[in-house]
Amino acid sequence: MYRDIQALSEAGVPIYFDRGYKLVTDAFLPPLNFTVDELLTLCLGSNSDPIQSVDCLRKSAKQALAKLESLIPEKIIVDYKKAKEHITVQPKERHSHEGVNLIFELLRQAIWLEKKIKLSHVSAQSSKVIELVPKVLLYNEGNWYLAGLVQKKIRYFALDMIKSVILS
């Protein structure tokens, strides 16, 4: 505890003692200390194919980056904007596929809530309804996949082959 108090004091956070250690309520933290390369890395990542391929991730990345950029000191932001002009990611051209966006959202909720699901999956061989426990959404070679437990075995399903999801 004393090490934490000392670290906060050294960082310039005002602390006082009044029947226990307390932070001064109007204390502020110093501006974010990102380097230009760190900011550029975050920007490039937010424009990557996995993020840009799903509406909710694209929107969240844009909002997060705007919030971050608004907090960066002016001397860093100038160099960062200049660097962004010379290094960029060009995401693949995508046609918005509302079905995949909705499926992604439902699967994300099911994973978060640890809910079983029933999904209607279409493959070259057949179309079937499968009950499973969703575990992970993963992006590989331009496509999103769901990894889930089906009868104690991990199986993978391409999101664009999933026609419907029902939360159990």
Q: Is the residue at 7 inside a domain?
A: yes
Question: Residue 26's pLDDT is what?
Answer: 57
Residues 29, 7: Cα–Cα separation, whole Å: 13
Q: Is residue 93 part of a domain?
A: no
pLDDT the model gives residue 138: 96
Over residues 38-76, the pLDDT tens digits come to 999 999 999 999 999 999 999 999 999 999 888 888 888
Mark whether 21 and 40 lie in a shared domain.
Answer: no
Whether the pLDDT of residue 1 is over 90: the answer is no
Q: Is the pLDDT of residue 37 over 60?
A: yes
Residues 78 and 133 in one domain: no
Query: Is 148 in contact with 157 (CB distance < 8 Å)?
Result: yes
One domain for residues 44 and 71:
yes
119 within a domain of the structure (yes/no): yes
Let me know if residue 56 belongs to a domain. yes
pLDDT at position 11 is 74
pLDDT band (50, 70, 90) for residue 124: confident
Range of the domain at 141: 98-167
Domain count, the chain: 3
> Does this model's pTM top 0.75?
no
Phi, psi at 124, each rounded to 5°? -60, -30
Q: What is the pLDDT of residues 90-114, one digit of tens each?
A: 777 665 566 789 999 999 999 999 9
Q: Can you list the alpha helix ranges (DSSP code H) found in 2-54?
A: 2-10, 36-46, 49-52
Confirm whether 91 is domain-assigned.
no
How does strand 127-140 pair with strand 143-150? antiparallel
